[in-house]
Structure 1
């Protein structure tokens, strides 16, 4: 059966349909281009963000390296400081020892009187642990002095529990030709306060020399 629409109307309808299809196609094309543009922009933004992240990581690594270096320098300085403190303490100890040796050798100088065997120095001090430290220097300053064989004896005097107190330290053998230095520690009774220390050089029963020192 033939259509009732005349040919001119058919052509008009066909033209309208084709125009509508063309408009839809153009809209789809433009919409696709806009989407493609957004994707391209997103990719560029992603690339930029990744570059910034990489740069921040590099800066963080550099700062960490600087911090590690500073910590190493600080540790080295602390170590050096401790070493220097140890060396200073050692030098101070050596200095004290040198002063003691200097005082000791000064006492070795013969006296103008040319005296014979004598106690040239007696030193004593109380220690915090309840002991007494003593040191004695005995000399024969003359040349070609005969060898001496005798004993040295110490006597302590002071106060114990409010009463006078004395104690004789057992004698030690003493042998010398020019000089001899003796030293030792003596335990004290609890509460004993030593006031004076007396050293005696004995030749048999004879006393050859004696010296007394007072404690502060």
Structure 2
């Protein structure tokens, strides 16, 4: 069997063998070149068709329109932003003005209260009967938080053309201290008093701990003579 096979290979009837060079990259390179060529022709044909059909011109017009709309919207946005900034500035100014007006109203209310107090004080300046030339009007006193006493007194000359008065004002406070009778004068003693028609004097006195004020008395002295006296109970 082996001999027959060997003889067949060596004789003329042996099968023929073809030897070929194996270069596949040449074939693929050719295919790529042809594909690129056909793609270029197709792209050129597509662009040429758009030009003939007017599609490219419409796209350009649409692009121009969109750019114009974008610019218009940007301008409108800038205008709206400017209005918002102006409104915010106006709101800030209005808030500041409102706060300033509120502070002024508080000041005016305080002045109004002071004027009402003065009005009530001066309403008591009714000419007194009698022959005294100097009189005490509207003696007032108030204990603050149990530790201080605020007092106020008005002294007038009942004669319109009276000469200038020169004297002193004595204020004394009485009550109880630790349950026992207690009295004190103003710190520093009597206050100098000089006026022609009227004079209002007021002050604040620190009270001793545990002191209970029951009476406040004011006395106008000229030299060694007492010209007017008035007392109030608390």
Structure 2-normalised TM-score? 0.65
Cα gap change, 1:27 to 1:145, in 2 (>3 Å): closer
> Which of 121, 146, 159 is equivalent to 1:142?
159
SS in 2 for 1:211: strand
- Indicate if the aligned counterparts of 1:156 and 1:168 stay in contact, CA closer than 8 A: yes
Count of residue pairs the alignment pairs up: 192
Query: 1:118, 1:209 within 8 Å by CA — same for their partners in 2?
Result: yes
In the alignment, structure 1 residue 46 sits paired with structure 2 residue 99: no
Cα deviation digits, residues 45-74 of structure 1 (max 9, x gap):
433332332232122112212212221221
> What RMSD over aligned residues (CA atoms) do the two structures have, in Å?
3.4
Equivalent residues of 1:130, 1:188 under 8 A apart: yes
For the residue of structure 2 that corresponds to 1:142, the secondary structure is coil
Question: 1:32 is matched with which residue: 28, 31, 47?
Answer: 47
Task: Deviation per CA, 1:190-215: give whole Å up to 9, x if none.
Answer: 45443331112234454332212233
3-state SS, counterpart of residue 49 of structure 1: helix
Bigger-Rg structure (1/2): 2
Contact 1:114 1:141 survives alignment (8 Å): no
Q: 1:208 corresponds to which residue?
A: 227
1:87 to 101, 104, 120: 104
Does residue 62 of structure 1 match 2:76? no
How far the C-alpha of 1:177 sits from its partner, in A, is 4.2
Aligned to 1:209, the other structure's residue is in SS state: strand
Instruction: List per-residue Cα deviations over 1:87-140 (Å, max 9, x = no partner).
Output: 322332332333334334434442344543221221122345943222211222
Q: Deviations over 1:138-189 (max 9, x none)?
A: 2220244355433221111234455543221121122344332222222223
Counterparts in 2 of 1:29 and 1:89: CA distance versus 1, 3 Å = closer
Residues 164 and 194 of structure 2 are in contact (CA less than 8 Å); yes or no, is this contact kept in structure 1? yes
**What residue in structure 2 maps to residue 182 of structure 1?**
201
The unaligned stretches of length 5 or more in structure 1 are: 1-25
- For residue 192 of structure 2, what is the aligned residue in structure 1? 173
Q: 1:119 to 1:51 in 2, by over 3 A?
A: same
Unaligned runs of 5+ in 2: 1-40
Check 1:128–1:78 CA distance in 2 against 1; reply closer, same or farther (3 A cut): farther
For structure 1, which segment, 181-190 or 31-40, has the greater mean C-alpha deviation from structure 2 after superposition?
31-40
Cα separation, partners in 2 of 1:39 and 1:194, compared to 1, 3 Å? farther
Taking the aligned partners of 1:43 and 1:175, their CA distance within structure 2 comes to 100
Report the Cα distance in structure 2 between the residues aligned to 1:192 and 1:213, rounded to whole angstroms.
Answer: 17
